[in-house]
Structure 1
Amino acid sequence: MFCKKDNQNLFRLFISVLITGGIIVSSIAKADIVIPFKKNITIYTSTTETEPLYKAVLALQRDIEKVTGSKAHIKDLSAIKEPGIVVLNSVKDKLQQALIGWEAHHVYTTKINDVEQVILQGADSRGTIYAIYEFSEKVLGVPPLWYFINWKPSSQKAITVSSALDIKVNEPTVKYRAWFPNDMDMFSPWRRLNKDNKELWLETALRHKINTIEYYEQGTYSDKTAYKLSDNFRLISSYGLVLTTHHHSPLNATFRAWEDFWKGIKKVELVPELSLKNEDKIEEFWRYHIETLHRANAEMIWVIGFRAAGDHPFWKTFKDAPGSMKERGAVISRMIKKQRDLVLEITGNPEVQFRSIFYNELSDLMAEGYIDLPNDPNLIWNYVASRRDHFPNLDVQKLNTTGNNLGYYFNYQFTSTGSHFAAGEGPWKMEDNYRYLAPKSTKPILFSVVNAGNLREFVMELAANAKMMWDFNDYRTDAFLTDFCRQYYGADKADRISQLYRSYYMAYWQPRKADLQGIDRQYIFQDLRYWRAIEGLVKVIKEKKYDLNPLKEMGGEQIQNRTYQIVPADNGAENQVDAIINGTAKAADAFKKIMGECDEVYNGLNGASKDFFDTNLRGPAHFMYGLNTSLWNLTKAFKEGSTDKGKQTSLVKQAIHELEQAQKALYSTQYPPFESWYSNSTIFNLSKTINLLKTVNQ
């Protein structure tokens, strides 16, 4: 059962109205407001169809219809005569006392023209959007993740709202709160299936009071039409969300689009060389992208930085790049200042918001003091969690208290070694990261973004981050998770399931002891590390290279042992092989226990609660158990293979079986609207990995 929160007793929800022959008879106190949903409920608003707020009004209309079975009518504010729901924007509408504060909002009851009304009011347009979704969640009972979990309400004839309804939400602690769908191998094909898939993830973000989407594309032009913003960027903007771009696409001008730009937009036959000596051409490239975004009137946080044609340092692309890190830092610093000047010139707005992202090489250069950023009060110094294992990097650790505006980029997933099919970092680790950064500035954190890949696997963590960024000081993960479980699984199961979530995250193998105080589970072995380890072991088994430290670093690693972070001594071992055997055995035992408890809880749930529990916790627990037992068997096969080929063959077969069971656990959770979700995976293709394992015994 889904339960409706009482929001600290600020309101009461009564389903106590009988409808007989069109006459509403209420058994509640006269001071309470009966919202007559049958045929003549009205939403009053001044917004128009071209405004983002109108999308939220339509969502409210849809929510009302879902809950009551009756469609609400939308009318202008001037038509207020009967009781209804009044949507007010403090900047635009003058019927009530204006709210003060960025995105503040208020849900309450009052009289307008001597008629009792439910008021949904925001200090600005997004505040009003949030007021609408606050009402939908707290009064109508529509959970923010309704689309992701295929939620269906029990139909109600009418809803009566207490006259004590008074939910006032002050402005958020963190001004810009972003989600970043990245590595979208499953998400992108799913979005192409229908309009709802394409758009409703943006509504889901707004229901969680997220206000920014980090996104990137090959270029800001579409079909080589000059100055046309891409469909995805226009869609995000149409929902009233702030746009910002990725660290490899400052100004949304990735150098991957260099050739397309010159041939498609500039119509030149000879593409200029991508070289530091062609700085005027680089500036022309940037100018086009800035003008495209500016002409579209998109609300932007402008990312300024300098990287390669891809997710690499600029010296991987620019052949005339200097060799020393100090000189490279000077080039980046110069380019960042040039980008800032161009944005200020083109927009003509001295108050535009900038953001510089200290990712990978820029983080290293920042830690060494080789980056000189513009002295701009509107620049966000956006620090990034360490790569592969997500904790504050060295530049954050070295940072003294500053007056700069700080931002933080936290990964719930990571393309090459992190979580992909099963959430691994967890909300406690997220909270620890942000609490580590917060004291580094005399100002509140100004910007937050969480990278969650395909989104579906990380919806609980995304909800936790959104909640923390709105109310940073009072947020506590344990309390959040209990509330989350109460909302999605029912009050009677909330405590047990919230403890199961904690046990699930603690079951992950920690291949290395923590070396940074205050960070929960600093090093963990996520599912993509299992994938890399399995493929790495298959390679050495087939090559008959029986080195007890067989797993090698990824190409291009800047820090030794970062790919796997396996420290044998921390696992009671002298080499990688025995460390893997010990670590995966311990993790498998833990996940097996959680699987049993999850199965028991699962059998006591029903409907969307049951499906969501299977998707978000039970399925991942079964999957991670399968990964651990598969890798354990394969590593044992590797260890035994030099002396006992028969035993090796048997262990490899068992490794294949366990991975097949892990795949089965995932595929069984493909509930609507995600019926074919995992068939799109290209980053961790389970079928391909299973077939690779089968080649060992051929």
Structure 2
Amino acid sequence: MEGIISLCPPDHLATPVRHAMNMLTRDILHVLGTEPRVVKDQANAEIVIRYGSASDGCAVHPEAFALRYTHDGEKSQLHIVAHDDLGLVYGILHVSETVLGIHPFWYWMDQPIQQRSVIDVHGCEPYDSPVAKVKFRGWFVNDEVCLIGWKEAYPPSREVWLPVFEALLRCGGNMVIPGTDLPKTGIHLELAAEMGLWLTHHHAEPLGAEMFLRAYTGRSASYKEAPELFEKLWLEAIEKQKDQNILWVLSFRGQGDKPFWENDPSFDTPTKRGEMISRVIYRQYEMIKEAVENPVYCVALYGEIAELYKGGYIDLPRDVIKIWADNGYGKMVSRRHGNLNLRMPALPDAEDGGRHGIYYHVTFHDLQASNHLTMFQGSAAFVKEEVESAFEAGCSDYLLLNCGNIRQHVYMLDIIRELWLRGTMDTGTHLHTFVGHYYRNHQEEISDLYRTYTEASIAYGPHADDLAGDEFYHHPARRLIGHWLQGRTSEADRGLLWATGEVSFAEQMQWFEQRGEEGHASWSKWVQKCEELLGKLDGDDKQRVLDHLWLPGVIHQTGSEGLLWLCRSYAAARSKEYAQAFVFASRSMWCYDRGLQALRLAEHGKWADFYRADWLTNIASTVNNVDTLRRFLRMQGDSPDFFHWYKEYLMPETEKYIYLENTHRNPLSDDELANQLQHYFQKQK
């Protein structure tokens, strides 16, 4: 096909198909430089998009599509056929990828689009789409602060959500939780449905209902005390959604995504807790059944609910999909609650019948050691093993993937795409293909950086999944500073026992210093390899390596180094070496600030301001916390005139005892003083 391509859409253009047509039109423009012509007569079209007939031989299961080719002399015609809207969407996007070369994450990876003058379909074979391994597969766009802060509008506008949902559809996804507790007035729910995606719900927002305390401010959020108020919210949610494609999540957690008994101590036994959860779930089940034809139900066995179910304390309706969750670090065991880490297996037993699925994380936010701004720290082989084991245990009805803000996690999202479609994968083949799709040059060296990323990660515990993400350098650091400046150093920070075990505060500092040293050593080597490669690259490839490899590496490198200098600052202060402690705290702050500047470098072009709402890892907050610490330390020995350390360490001996104070009263800034003191102390070694 050359020149202007002609497309013939179906007579009835449903909104999901219209969106896919718009994508195909844009893709053809990118590749050929001209928009296709839309025609009504199939005979005059080179690409025909239509609902199938019996003669096409297209499978009739939901979402199936087929490609059929006709040839009349030199004229070739491609038919994309399916029996439902999503089938046509997937067929259109399959052609976009296989014929035009537009890969699933083209937008998020800034894929270079190869310009062509001809699209050749001569000799193409008929194609029938395989059945996906997982029936319901999609993303939870969770902790999406980068998407929220990227543009001025709140909640995020259509221009933010369109590339999210497009990428999900290109990955063969069919369901989504579009954001976390966003205002219902936003476009996200409407647009997701408009593009053909099933909607489902956060386990903390059962049925997609409004949060109780938002609707009834000041009331006690107790189902025991006011069941009618909860049920009123559930009924409103059912009425609003009953005509849409919904995967109804039945659940009962407390407000703010925590166990409900934290606010109601009368539920003080597993039996009482399980009975209440079972009662609520059955009530939600019956309410939906009364209003919705052929509903699809799910129960999120997340956190404490999984533990109660495993213990036999929760009774569930037989026809719900039971959703098992990993621990946030990719391991199919129960998640850590504060310092409690039971690691109970989170997969169904062999005798547990019915339908099962999983909720899986390649990004997480837990105020401890999770990854949010950086790539998942586990290996591709680890993720493959965990997900394939879940499939073997019968969890193939549903896979909800916590995808975060998309851009930082593309490699792992693409691995899960392969798994939910095919059920298995070869990690080496996948990496070779992934790098080949998005990078033009030095592909083996780039692949090696993806492969060795895991090896550079800090192991903070004995398990294979105990690998530190970017939050490890920030939430614990801010806790350590707060505990120190609150004057509580005679006792351990009990909020950090999950990492250090039962030790003193000084030993906690030593533990984190050791992890910081290990991370700084390994990440510095990895970043050096990355920077050596960057020296060989230019143009788009260089920018992609900066954005997707160098940036996470630098966040790890600067974070681990910032952590170790923070801990050394405490050791010096404990020995009353306050000037040295001030220098170490300054070095810590400078390290963290380098990580912040690395984020700014990734905010180019369309990505301007993408990281400005870094409110979760919050590197800027860590910088401010360490700055507060060094100001505190300067007050220990340089106050009240903030000239004492200059006089003691830096002033020439010939001047110390004869200078006139009225001519030497302009104290150095914290940065100037720290820099000069650092040089002084280094000379003394």
TM-score range, shorter chain: 0.7 to 0.9
Letter in 2 for 1:63: D
**Residue 537 (1) aligns with residue 480 (2):** yes
Q: Verify: 1:419 aligned to 2:371, yes or no.
A: yes
Query: 1-side partners of 2:175 and 2:529: how far apart?
Result: 38
Give the Cα separation in 2 of the matches to 1:362 and 1:254: 21
Q: Which residue identity lines up with residue 247 of structure 2 in the other structure?
A: I
State whether residues 272 and 281 of structure 1, in contact with CA within 8 Å, keep that contact through their aligned partners in structure 2.
no
How do 1:69-80 and structure 2 match up within 5 A?
Answer: 69-76=33-40, 79-80=41-42
Deviation at 1:604, TM superposition (A): 3.2
CA drift of 1:567 comes to 5.7
Residue deviations 1:339-366 (CA, integer Å, cap 9, x gap): 111111101x2x3211100112212212
Judge conservation of contact 1:64–1:70 (CA < 8 Å) in 2.
yes
Q: How far is the alpha carbon of 1:196 from its aligned partner?
A: 2.8
2-structure distance, mates of 1:671, 1:219: 27
After TM superposition, the score normalised by the length of structure 1 is 0.82
Identity of aligned pairs, percent? 21
Residues 56-71 of structure 1: pairs in structure 2 closer than 5 A: 56-71=20-35
- Say which of 392, 396, 401 aligns to 1:450: 401
AA aligned to 1:309 is Q
Partner residue of 2:202? Answer: 246
> Which of 477, 494, 497 lines up with 1:552 in the alignment?
494
1:650-661 equivalences under 5 Å are 650-661=583-594
After alignment, is 99-108 or 126-135 more displaced?
A: 99-108
Does 2:265 correspond to 1:323? Answer: no
What is the 5 A alignment of 1:663-682? 663-682=596-615
Matched with 1:558 is: none
Kindly state the Cα deviation for residue 126 of structure 1 after the two structures are TM-superposed.
1.5
Shift of 1:329: 0.6
Distance in 2, matches of 1:568 and 1:616, equals 38
SS in 2 for 1:534: helix
User: In structure 2, how many angstroms separate the alpha carbons of the residues matched to 1:82 and 1:215?
Assistant: 40
What is the letter of the counterpart of residue 494 of structure 2?
Answer: K
Distance (Å, rounded) in 2 between the aligned partners of 1:389 and 1:157: 45
Aligned to 2:639: none
State the Cα distance separating 1:398 from its structure 2 match: 7.2
After TM superposition, the structure 1 stretch with the greater mean CA deviation from structure 2, 64-73 or 412-421, is 412-421
Displacement of 1:48 in angstroms is: 3.8
1:496 match:
445
- Cα distance 1:404–1:602, how it changes in 2: closer, same or farther (>3 A)? farther
Aligned-residue offset at 1:428:
3.5
Q: Which residue does 1:468 correspond to in 2?
A: 419
Query: Tell me, what secondary structure is at the counterpart of 2:7?
Result: strand
Partner Cα distance (2:164, 2:569) in 1 = 44
Q: For residues 47 and 316 of structure 1, what CA distance do their matches in structure 2 show?
A: 56
* Residue identity opposite 1:251 in structure 2: L
Runs of 4 or more off by more than 6 Å in structure 1?
A: 270-273
- Match in the other structure for 2:648: none
120, 133, 137: which one aligns with 2:80: 120
Q: Please give the alpha-carbon distance, in whole angstroms, between the structure 2 residues aligned to 1:578 and 1:235.
A: 51
2:462 aligns with: 513
Give 1:85's aligned amino acid.
I
The gaps in structure 2 that reach 5 residues or longer are: 335-342, 632-685
8 Å contact kept, 2:324–2:346: no
Q: Which residue, out of 438, 458, 468, partners 1:525? A: 468
Q: Do the aligned partners of residues 664 and 171 (structure 1) sit closer, same or farther apart at CA in structure 2, a change above 3 Å counting?
A: same
- Measured in 2, the distance between the counterparts of 1:605 and 1:574 equals 45
Task: Find the counterpart in structure 2 of residue 207 from structure 1.
Answer: 170
Q: Structure 1 unaligned segments of length 5 or more: list them.
A: 1-34, 223-229, 264-269, 515-520, 555-560
Q: 2:312 corresponds to which residue? A: 369
Cα shift at 1:188: 1.6
Given candidates 47, 51, 61, the residue that maps to 1:85 is 47
> 1:422 corresponds to which letter in structure 2?
T
SS at match of 2:70: strand
Structure (1 or 2) with the larger CA radius of gyration: 2
Q: Which moved more, 1:407-416 or 1:95-104?
A: 95-104
- Aligned residue for 2:224? 276
* Contact in 1 for aligned 2:301/2:325 (Cα 8 Å): yes
* Letter of the 2:28 counterpart: I
Query: Closer, same or farther in 2 for the Cα pair 1:641/1:219, shift >3 Å?
Result: closer
CA distance in 2 between counterparts of 1:678 and 1:480 reads 29
The one-letter amino acid of 1:640's match is A
How far the C-alpha of 1:628 sits from its partner, in A, is 0.6
1:478 aligns with 2:410: no
The alpha-carbon deviation at position 251 of structure 1 amounts to 0.4
**Residue in structure 1 matching 2:10, options 46, 66, 84:** 46
Q: Post-superposition shift, 1:221? A: 5.6
Pair 1:198-2:161 in alignment: yes
8 Å Cα contact 2:332-2:345 kept in structure 1: no
Check if 1:338 corresponds to 2:283. Answer: yes
SS of aligned partner of 2:58: coil
Q: 1:71-470 alignment to 2 at 5 Å?
A: 71-76=35-40, 79-90=41-52, 93=53, 96-111=56-71, 116-190=76-150, 192=153, 195-215=158-178, 222=185, 231-256=187-212, 259=215, 274-294=222-242, 297-317=243-263, 319=264, 322-347=267-292, 349=293, 351-376=294-319, 379-387=320-328, 390-393=331-334, 394-396=343-345, 399-401=348-350, 402-415=352-365, 416-417=367-368, 418-426=370-378, 427-441=380-394, 445-470=396-421
User: Helix, strand or coil: the match of 1:109?
Assistant: strand
Shift of 1:459: 1.6
Distance 2:220 2:481 in 1: 45
Conserved in 2, the CA contact under 8 Å of 1:61 and 1:72?
yes
Task: Work out whether residues 407 and 445 of structure 1, in 8 Å CA contact, stay in contact via their aligned partners in 2.
Answer: yes
| Corresponding residue SS for 1:171 | coil
Measure the CA separation in 1 of the matches of 2:457 and 2:146: 24
* Richer in helix (by share): 2
Q: Secondary structure at the match of 2:357?
A: strand
Counterpart-to-counterpart distance in 2, 1:276 and 1:113: 75
Deviation at 1:168?
A: 3.3
Contact 2:158 2:187 in 1 (8 A): no
CA drift of 1:302 comes to 0.5
CA distance in 2, matches of 1:216, 1:496: 36
| Equivalent position amino acid for 1:259 in 2 | A
Paired residues of 1:620 and 1:666 also in contact (CA < 8 A): no
The 3-state SS of whatever aligns with 1:690 is helix
Asked if the contact 1:256–1:310 (Cα under 8 Å) also holds between the matched residues in 2, the reply is no
